[in-house]
């Protein structure tokens, strides 16, 4: 995907920054942005105040439908916006110029890797400072205001630098709509003196967004369906494997339609966990090559046709590119392209359209499901923990499994939590989130805050290694505790420590605060 940059016209003279709270009669940039965020579904904006964004924050606070959540630093705000976008479909954060923008970069890069529409708003230099060769604070000491922009160009799908009110309306609307259409982060820099200045383009409430639906090329769709159906209907024991791009394609319902119609066993790639219904009677587990769920790898790799829906084959998900998958037997369904074996690859064929149409063409075939049921042996139950015995990881996760229901969601941190949470069986409607592609240590604590703010009907269970927690810093927990009390959010944290003897110890209750005592986590 190519990145697009739109920079406002040359700076126009304007008055000094004024902190003016907009009324219903003020057509200002700040109010327009606030209303646009609310229209997209954003209700919580994660922010770190700074002198370049204070006026803008006043206008966001003044919008009744927005709640400003203050974060301890910009990285935390970005992680929270990431978690929020996972539950709500879109997230937003507001930081200050350069010193804040460069701090939030890592979180935005993670959102880009996970195809999450995060709107990153930066309070920028006064519009009168552009072109003056002045050196500003919060920069690296050069009279060049583009350093931050250049960094964001690689990790956002659109960048808007708003330093002129004449084109501000267009730039803001284009940025937000592009984030929603592409399901990627965008960058919006707004000069610090512009949010409170009235302008004719903001004289009325913004017209609601209309995003034209993407429609498949009909001839390409028909050709893809016919070729795929012919391959699958001639197969003896085909299987379906769901991947992480099911989310960005918004194709989970169509995936289930195809699974129901075909009767094939359903596996999930490790990076797609949570996007495939594990309560379905044909679900056979996680396909992860040599470390797949018991008996799942055998069924997938012995199939004579496999439909991979939204896969990402990286070194993690392929166990070092060691998957025993043959290209000629694989149908690869991406969000806007279908590739059938060694044959045709058809573009502008959208995943949901394709799966819905394919469901009407395939013959029901339960041979692979029956094979799985013949060889399947239920997993053993962990032995009870003896008195004074250190807590074992399998006993811990047995209890976590018992906590899960349709009213819960699991957030799994990079590392041991990844691998152990993969073994959890998710009940119907149980959420599950992790960051397998980018794998940023410490992501989960901020993401838990954002996810919980968006999914107020869920009790969020976060599994975090104590090393990752140290990266996240305790002060972020303080932010979570404040929001927990304020918004009646329900969360469990499990801090998992790996000692030299590979014993694990959870910290069940935050108020014990064991991390304040030298990080001695030995049970």
Burial class (CB in 10 A: 0-12, 13-18, 19+), 397: buried
Query: Helix or strand or coil: residue 120?
Result: strand
C-alpha span between 7 and 167 (Å, rounded) = 9
Element (H, E) at 354: helix 351-359
Cβ count near 520 (within 10 Å): 8
C-alpha span between 449 and 335 (Å, rounded) = 29
Query: Which residues are within 8 A (CB) of 295 and not within 5 positions of it... i.e. 6 or more apart?
Result: 284, 285, 372, 375, 376, 377
Burial class (CB in 10 A: 0-12, 13-18, 19+), 228: buried
Contact indicator for 206, 35 with CB cutoff of 8 Å: yes
Phi, psi of 170, rounded to the nearest 5 degrees: -65, -45
Tokens read off for 421: 């949470």
Contact indicator for 93, 83 with CB cutoff of 8 Å: no
DSSP state of 433: E
Tokens read off for 369: 């499901």
Phi, psi of 26, rounded to the nearest 5 degrees: -95, 115
Query: Which residues are within 8 A (CB) of 255 and not within 5 positions of it... i.e. 6 or more apart?
Result: 240, 242, 246, 276, 309, 355
Q: Is 388 annotated as a binding residue?
A: no
Nearest CA among 417, 489, 498 for reference residue 453: 489
C-alpha span between 119 and 156 (Å, rounded) = 9
Query: Helix or strand or coil: residue 117?
Result: coil
C-alpha span between 246 and 22 (Å, rounded) = 41
- Beta strands (DSSP E) in 71-133 are 91-96, 118-124
Contact indicator for 130, 8 with CB cutoff of 8 Å: no
95, β-bridge pairs: 122
Contact indicator for 339, 313 with CB cutoff of 8 Å: no
Numbered residues of the known binding site = 466
Numbered residues of the known binding site for Mg(2+) = 466
């Amino acid at each position: 995907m190519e990145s697009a940059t739109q920079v406002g016209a040359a700076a126009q003279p304007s008055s000094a920054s004024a902190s003016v709270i907009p009324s219903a009669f003020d057509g200002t940039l700040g109010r327009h942005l606030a209303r646009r965020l609310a229209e997209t579904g954003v209700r919580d904006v994660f922010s770190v105040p700074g002198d370049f964004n204070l006026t803008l924050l006043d206008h966001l606070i003044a919008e009744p439908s927005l709640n400003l959540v203050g974060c301890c630093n910009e990285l935390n705000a970005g992680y929270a916006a990431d978690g929020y976008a996972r539950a709500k479909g879109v997230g937003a954060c507001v930081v200050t110029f350069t010193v804040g923008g460069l701090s939030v970069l890592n979180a935005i890069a993670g959102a880009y890797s996970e195809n999450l529409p995060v709107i990153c708003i930066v309070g920028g230099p006064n519009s009168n400072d552009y072109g003056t060769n002045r050196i500003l604070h919060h920069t690296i000491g050069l009279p060049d205001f583009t350093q931050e922009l250049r960094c964001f160009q690689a990790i956002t799908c659109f960048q808007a630098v708003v330093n002129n009110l004449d084109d501000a309306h267009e730039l803001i609307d284009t940025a937000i709509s592009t984030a929603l259409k592409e399901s990627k982060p965008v960058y919006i820099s707004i000069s610090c003196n512009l949010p409170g200045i009235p302008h004719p383009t903001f004289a009325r409430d913004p017209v609601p967004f209309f995003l034209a639906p993407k429609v498949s090329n009909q001839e390409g769709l028909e050709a893809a369906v016919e070729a795929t159906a012919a391959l699958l209907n001639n197969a003896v024991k085909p299987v379906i494997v769901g991947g992480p791009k099911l989310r960005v394609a918004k194709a989970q319902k169509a995936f289930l339609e195809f699974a129901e119609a075909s009767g094939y066993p359903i596996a999930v790639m490790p990076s797609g966990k949570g996007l495939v219904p594990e309560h379905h009677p044909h679900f056979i587990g996680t396909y992860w090559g040599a470390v797949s769920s018991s008996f799942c790898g055998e069924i997938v790799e012995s199939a004579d046709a496999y439909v991979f829906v939204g896969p990402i084959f990286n070194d993690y998900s392929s166990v070092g590119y060691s998957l025993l998958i043959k290209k000629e037997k694989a149908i690869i369904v991406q969000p806007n392209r279908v590739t059938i074996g060694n044959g045709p690859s058809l573009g502008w064929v959208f995943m949901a359209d394709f799966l819905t149409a394919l469901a009407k063409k395939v013959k029901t075939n339960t041979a692979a499901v029956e094979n799985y049921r013949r060889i399947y042996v239920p997993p053993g139950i962990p032995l009870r923990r003896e008195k004074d015995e250190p807590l074992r990881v399998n006993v811990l996760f047995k209890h976590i499994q018992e906590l899960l229901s349709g009213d819960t969601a699991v957030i799994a941190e990079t590392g041991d939590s990844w691998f152990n949470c993969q073994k959890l069986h998710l009940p119907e409607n149980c959420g599950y989130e992790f960051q397998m592609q980018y794998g940023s240590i410490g992501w989960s604590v901020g993401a838990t805050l954002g996810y919980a703010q968006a999914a107020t009907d869920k009790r969020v269970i976060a599994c975090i290694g104590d090393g990752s927690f140290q990266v996240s810093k305790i002060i972020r927990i303080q932010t979570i505790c404040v929001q927990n009390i304020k918004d009646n959010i329900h969360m469990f944290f499990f801090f998992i420590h790996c000692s030299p003897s590979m014993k694990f110890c959870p910290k069940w209750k935050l108020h014990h605060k064991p991390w304040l005592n030298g990080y001695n986590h030995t049970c």
